[in-house]
Amino acid sequence: MKALAIDLGGTHATCAVVRDGEILASRVIDLDCTNGLASALPLFSSALREAAQNAGVETHTCDGLALSFCGLVDARTGRVVSTNKKYDDAVGIDLPAWSCKEFGLPFRIENDARMALLGEWYAGGGRGYDNIVMFTLGTGIGGAAMVEGRLLRGKHFQAGCLGGHFPVLFTGRKCTCGNVGCAEAEASGWAIPEVARATPGFESSTLAAGEVTFKAVFQAAAAGDPVAVTVRDRCLHVWAANSVAAIHAYDPELIIFGGGVMKSADVILPYVERFVHEHAWTPWGKVAVRSAELANNAALLGAVPLLTEKFGSC
């Protein structure tokens, strides 16, 4: 199967031509999500045609176009349901009609975290498993769940993809979602600077000299900075507790962790695995814990399995 694929983030989009588990060609375009989605559509068209030309593929020979979107979507109708201050005009855009008019191709859309899970299941770290939870640790904490080889979507399209919003500390920090003590509010990229500054001794920590990021925290912790060690271990505990919550909610065989912080997988995975094996109620056996394999390509490769689901023609 060949597909046109778009992985849309807040500041850029990757437009690609994929065939089965392979990316034939791609192009990255810079965007400003505050300008809306409508203004980006012509850029997508141009980038996809350029990628197809570089791949030696005619766009009309592809089986469809799939979009990975940073918000809640209705995969059945191909429409955006809700955004979080990114591409706010997307709710009113008929994307299937755009795809049909522009390329003559059927269109599918899915939440970006679910698309990443689809890609990992199809061509990455999830191969061989049909019951998976995936967390992406980044600015926020993305989540997705698969049960018996099918993405969990739910009545209102929120099932599984709010995995970063399990409350792990009911007396904790206020989250952007309005809840208190979500995993994202306690151990995500946007929260980590505030968490670090609230840690006793921060002023004398090496972290105080620069931007507080996951990379800075893990590097300083490895060098023995006591504040960094405290912050790092707190993050590990939050991610592990969140994993137990997901196991109890979705009954997976496998948990996959993705995101840039997984450059420290040698620290993160053993901690989470030990915690999960000790605290999760799984009388049937042990949940496997591993890193994502496809990095930034996961959502693009998720286009192929997404397009194999039944969908209406244009």
Within-domain flag for 313: no
The mean per-residue pLDDT over the stretch 116-124 comes to 96
* Contact call for residues 129 and 27 (beta carbons, < 8 A): no
Q: What's the structural domain count of the chain?
A: 2
pLDDT interval class at 176 (50, 70, 90): confident
Residue 190 has pLDDT above 60, yes or no: yes
* Per-residue pLDDT at 134: 97
Tell whether 182 and 99 lie within a shared domain.
Answer: no
Tell whether 12 and 101 lie within a shared domain.
Answer: yes
Residue 306 has pLDDT above 70, yes or no: yes
Residue 305 has pLDDT above 60, yes or no: yes
Residue 74 has pLDDT above 50, yes or no: yes
Tell whether 137 and 189 lie within a shared domain.
Answer: yes
Within-domain flag for 314: no
The pLDDT mean for the chain works out to 94
Tell whether 103 and 160 lie within a shared domain.
Answer: no
Within-domain flag for 242: yes
pLDDT interval class at 163 (50, 70, 90): confident
Tell whether 225 and 148 lie within a shared domain.
Answer: yes
Residue 310 has pLDDT above 90, yes or no: no
Within-domain flag for 122: no
Tell whether 166 and 106 lie within a shared domain.
Answer: no
Tell whether 10 and 72 lie within a shared domain.
Answer: yes
pLDDT interval class at 85 (50, 70, 90): confident
Within-domain flag for 47: yes
Within-domain flag for 124: no
The mean per-residue pLDDT over the stretch 64-72 comes to 94
Tell whether 271 and 185 lie within a shared domain.
Answer: yes
* Per-residue pLDDT at 311: 44
Domain housing 50: 2-117+297-308
Tell whether 105 and 136 lie within a shared domain.
Answer: no
Within-domain flag for 165: yes
pTM for the full predicted model: 0.91
pLDDT tens for residues 252-304? Answer: 999 999 999 999 999 999 999 999 999 999 999 999 999 999 988 999 999 99
The mean per-residue pLDDT over the stretch 49-53 comes to 97
Within-domain flag for 200: yes
CA 75 – CA 94 distance, rounded (Å): 13
Tell whether 47 and 180 lie within a shared domain.
Answer: no
CA 151 – CA 61 distance, rounded (Å): 27
Nearest to 134 by CA among 259, 248, 20, 264: 259
Tell whether 155 and 182 lie within a shared domain.
Answer: yes
We report the CATH number of the domain holding residue 8 as 3.30.420.40
Nearest to 65 by CA among 296, 295, 314, 294: 314
Tell whether 95 and 140 lie within a shared domain.
Answer: no
